[in-house]
């Protein structure tokens, strides 16, 4: 969607402008952090400890999101305009980088508590899904992440809404599984990442107006194209997350540890 009359700024205080994109991103972070900390209390941890873990996870997630965006889209900033790299309020975050570096930060902090990590990483899914949904709405206000033009009568693909719908799907799926199933620790996260890569790689990236690499296919009538940079990495991501999903189920088949049992176990 490209709506020219939308203002990227929610309001201004003197020369400082507050972007809608930044507001939506902060709302998603706060919502996800609140859920993670509240669920994390079930592990018997101190809320201050959980808040500290969440803070560093979010911080490294934002760093990873910006670094991957810059490397994939604007690498010339590194030597031409380094100050542009930190201007995240102007938009430009790669969710793949946020998830990757954020999860690594969470694992590093909980490397001595593998069971606790598996529970907490599952509880990051609502925040990740909320972030996908809200940041894509912010992209509309920033006039970015546009879909390809088509000849189907509606002009451009509403790429931001397609991306937001993926976030809604992940959020609904998470709470449906929480309500009707008892998945092993870690399954919720890895399965969410599998479906995110699948939906984004084969739907979102197909209609998104991104450069094409290696094998080029572009259909101007339908407004679809292959292969974008994300699509090149999609098969590897699907294989890895699929194997991790299978690993969690195989481990649970021999020894599934319910949450209440984990709470009774002595902490390392």
Parent domain of 150: 9-264
CA angle 133, 194, 185 (to 5 degrees): 95
* Nearest-angstrom CA–CA distance, 253 and 3: 51
Where are the extended beta strands (E) located within the chain?
A: 9-13, 16-19, 217-219, 224-226
CA atoms within 13 A on the CB side of 249: 9
Q: Is the pLDDT of residue 192 over 60?
A: yes
Given its phi and psi angles, is residue 132 left (phi above 0), alpha (psi -120 to 50 degrees) or beta?
Answer: alpha
Give tens-digit pLDDT for 59-102: 999 899 888 888 877 788 888 888 888 877 665 778 888 899 99
Pull the structure tokens for residue 193. 């990442």
Domain count, the chain: 1
136 inside domain: yes
Crossing angle for the helix pair 187-199 and 159-180, to the nearest 10 degrees: 150
136 is in an annotated binding site: yes
> Three-state DSSP class for 230?
helix
Terminal Cα distance for the chain, rounded? 51
List phi, psi (to 5°) of 113: -130, 70
Compute the mean pLDDT over every residue in the chain, rounded to the nearest whole number. 88
- Give residue 75's pLDDT: 80
217-224 contacts: CB < 8 A, separation 24 or more?
220/149, 220/150, 220/151, 221/150, 221/151, 221/152, 222/150, 222/152, 223/147, 223/148, 223/149, 223/150, 223/151, 223/152, 223/156, 223/157, 224/148
Band of residue 259 on the pLDDT scale cut at 50, 70, 90: low
Give tens-digit pLDDT for 103-135: 999 999 999 888 899 999 999 999 999 999 999
Band of residue 256 on the pLDDT scale cut at 50, 70, 90: very low
120 inside domain: yes
Pull the structure tokens for residue 93. 């975050």
104 inside domain: yes
Question: Is the Cβ–Cβ distance between 156 and 2 less than 8 Å?
Answer: yes
Residue labelled with tokens 């507050």: 18
Which run of H or of E encompasses 211? none
List phi, psi (to 5°) of 143: 60, 50
Span 154-172, average pLDDT? 95
249 inside domain: yes
């Amino acid at each position: 969607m490209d709506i020219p009359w939308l203002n990227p700024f929610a309001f201004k205080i003197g020369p400082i402008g507050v972007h809608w994109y930044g507001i939506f991103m902060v709302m998603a972070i706060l919502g996800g952090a609140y859920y993670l900390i509240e669920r994390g209390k079930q592990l018997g941890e101190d809320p201050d400890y959980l808040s500290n873990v969440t803070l560093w996870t979010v911080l490294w997630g934002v760093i990873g999101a910006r670094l991957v965006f810059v490397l994939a889209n604007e690498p010339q900033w590194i030597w031409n305009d380094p100050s542009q790299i930190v201007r995240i309020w102007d938009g430009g975050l790669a969710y793949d980088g946020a998830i990757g570096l954020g999860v690594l930060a969470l694992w590093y902090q909980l490397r001595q508590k593998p069971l606790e990590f598996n529970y907490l990483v599952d509880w990051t899914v609502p925040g990740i899904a909320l972030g996908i949904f809200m940041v894509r709405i912010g992209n509309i206000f920033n006039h970015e992440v546009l879909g390809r033009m088509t000849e189907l009568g509606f002009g451009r693909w509403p790429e931001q809404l397609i991306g937001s719908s993926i976030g809604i799907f992940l959020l609904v799926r998470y709470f449906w599984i929480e309500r009707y199933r008892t998945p092993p620790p870690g399954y919720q996260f890895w399965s969410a990442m599998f479906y995110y890569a699948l939906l984004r790689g084969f739907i979102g990236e197909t209609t998104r107006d991104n450069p094409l690499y290696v094998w080029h296919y572009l259909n101007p009538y339908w407004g679809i194209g292959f292969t974008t940079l994300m699509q090149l990495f999609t098969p590897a991501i699907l294989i890895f997350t699929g194997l991790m999903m299978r690993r969690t189920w195989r481990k649970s088949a021999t020894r599934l540890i319910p949450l209440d049992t984990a709470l009774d176990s002595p902490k390392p």
